[in-house]
Amino acid sequence: MDDLLSWFSSEHGVLDTAAMGLGDITGHGRGAYALRDIPEGHELFVIPRSLTLSTRTSSLPGLLGKKAWKEYKLDIGWAGLILCMMWEEAQGASSRWSGYLADLPSTFSTPMFWSSEELDELKGTAVVDKIGKDDAERDYREKLMPAAQSRPDLFPSEKLLQYYTLERYHVMGSRILSRSFTVLKWERESGADADAMVVADADTSLGSGMDVDMDANNPVDQDLDGTEDLDSDDEGDSEDPGDVAMVPMADMLNARFESENAKLFYEEHNLKMITTKAIKAGEQIWNTYGDPPNSDLLRRYGHVDYVPLRPPLSGMGNPADVVEVRADLVVAVTQDRGKAVGDAKERVEWWLEVTDDDTFVIQTDCEVPDELISLVLLLMLPAPEWEKAQRKEKLPKPKINVGLLPLIASVIETRLEEYQTTLEADEELLKCPLSVNKRNAVIVRLGEKYILASSLAKLRAMELVLREGGQGKKRKVSSSEDDKEQSKGKKSKS
């Protein structure tokens, strides 16, 4: 840590050493903590923009040339930044970032590095299909290696075997995934004046994790996954890989659900970590990674949040958890129960054309998404109504009646069967000593099962009420517009 601090100050980074300390924090790796009571709005450290490491600051893109950079598709995704990081590392002490790169972790507890037995523990969760190892390795073979082999003057063959291996490639990719920020170019015309500041968020869209904000007094979130347009609420709106940057010192902060007390802001020449709340001496200084569900936290960062849940759930977990229910599972259950009418394939194709939803997301409010109900109803429409729906391009309204509830409950039960263990078995497992990876896997799948079990309980309670209240009564499953928006089915993101 001392080496990192000396390197940081020698490169004109400024840390308030009276306010912030760095050290090992049990269960969190390294992290930052307050050395004294710190008020809100305090500047903890300042990083010159030129000290961030990105395809804009590394000299490699210039040396390789714009044409070759594009030809090898290094301007798309993270391949370019990964190659820059490998190249900077290969330059040894002559790289400006040698002191930084030497300090970054080279081992990770993300599923990308898990054994197949460990990955089996995640069966049924939203993690498995999103690890993306094969796609990443394709980039290595099809972009990085051809680019490196085309310029032996920049990538001498003896260095290829040491610094440009597939293993180092995954290490650099994981460093970006868990530590990078979105740092947009400084645009005077964006409305910010020369002294104003913007929040830098953890990068999420391309796979990294944190963000930057542009208005004075706005904080910078950390979402270590991609890039973000400052004017937009949508994650990953602007996907210029040049915005993805490694930010020394800012990436030393950990995060926990709704615990953020500091954020990274940027201005024309500097990035600044500023407290967003008063912090007591001894407390941890937390950035935010955007409070993702545990499945994403584990996939990107290798840890999970385990804090008190909120009603209708109880116990411990991540209040931002979600469960994904694939549309094909909904279709299969509807068919198996003999409820589908006509040609289900034709109806599903039409559904996908109209909605583009192949996955439904249930959140911790445990409400079945309207879109899921609408798909079931579409599959059950009598032929004349199906024709009318097509003609009018209108989906069935997500109204549920007592006859539909057992079918929706079957969908949830079938989804629960996709896990290899039961909810009760997982609760017992958590009482035993487990490896970190296994414990994290159990917490991810248990969080999803809690949501499904609570959805099921709600459906059964609703069925009871409707049966007691008479067969004809109809009731809508989801109530608020907000719920509708949030639980909207989405194509799975990787």
- Interface with ligand SAM by CB under 6 A: which range of 4-12, 123-131, 247-255, 313-321? 247-255
Helix (H) or strand (E) holding 46: strand 43-48
Q: Which is nearer to ligand SAM, 94 or 107 (CB)?
A: 107
- Phi first, then psi, for residue 357 (nearest 5°) are -95, 110
Q: Work out whether the CA dihedral 476, 477, 479, 483 comes out positive or negative.
A: negative
Distance CA 453, CA 258 (A): 25
Among 263, 272, 299, 303, binds ligand SAM (CB under 6 A): 303
Among 125, 178, 270, 374, binds ligand SAM (CB under 6 A): 178
CB of 26 to ligand SAM, least distance (A): 10
Tell me if 254 contacts ligand SAM by CB under 6 A. Answer: yes
Q: Which is nearer to ligand SAM, 286 or 351 (CB)?
A: 286
Instruction: Write each residue from 87 to 106 as x if it is in contact with ligand SAM (CB under 6 A), else as -, in one continuous string.
Output: ------------------x-
Q: Which amino acid belongs to residue 209?
A: G
CB of 91 to ligand SAM, least distance (A): 22
CB of 54 to ligand SAM, least distance (A): 16
Among 223, 251, 426, 448, binds ligand SAM (CB under 6 A): 251
Tell me if 301 contacts ligand SAM by CB under 6 A. Answer: yes
Tell me if 302 contacts ligand SAM by CB under 6 A. Answer: yes
CB of 40 to ligand SAM, least distance (A): 22
Q: Which is nearer to ligand SAM, 398 or 447 (CB)?
A: 447
Angle at 470 between CA 465 and CA 474, to 5 degrees: 75
Q: Which is nearer to ligand SAM, 243 or 371 (CB)?
A: 243
Tell me if 299 contacts ligand SAM by CB under 6 A. Answer: no
Is-contact 20 253, C-beta < 8 A? no
CB of 260 to ligand SAM, least distance (A): 11
Is-contact 201 221, C-beta < 8 A? yes
Q: Which amino acid belongs to residue 183?
A: V
Distance CA 278, CA 262 (A): 9
Among 1, 6, 12, 28, binds ligand SAM (CB under 6 A): 28
Instruction: Write each residue from 379 to 418 as x if it is in contact with ligand SAM (CB under 6 A), else as -, in one continuous string.
Output: ----------------------------------------
CB of 23 to ligand SAM, least distance (A): 10
Q: What is the total count of residues that contact ligand SAM (CB under 6 A)? A: 17
Helix (H) or strand (E) holding 201: strand 198-202
Distance CA 346, CA 328 (A): 13
Question: How many CA within 13 A on the CB side of residue 350?
Answer: 20
In DSSP terms, 246 is beta-bridged to 53, 180
Closest by CA to 183, choosing from 211, 225, 164, 154, is: 211
| Distant-in-sequence, close-in-space partners of 459: CB < 8 Å, separation ≥ 6 | 368, 405, 408, 409, 412
Among 6, 12, 17, 27, binds ligand SAM (CB under 6 A): 27
- Interface with ligand SAM by CB under 6 A: which range of 28-36, 182-190, 211-219, 233-241? 28-36
Q: Is the peptide bond before 319 cis (omega within 30 degrees of 0)?
A: no
Structure tokens at 460: 């059964």
Q: Which is nearer to ligand SAM, 58 or 440 (CB)?
A: 440
Tell me if 30 contacts ligand SAM by CB under 6 A. Answer: yes
Tell me if 29 contacts ligand SAM by CB under 6 A. Answer: yes
Distance CA 184, CA 47 (A): 15
CA 386 to chain centre: 38
Contact residues for ligand SAM (CB under 6 A)?
27-31, 105, 178-179, 251-256, 301-303
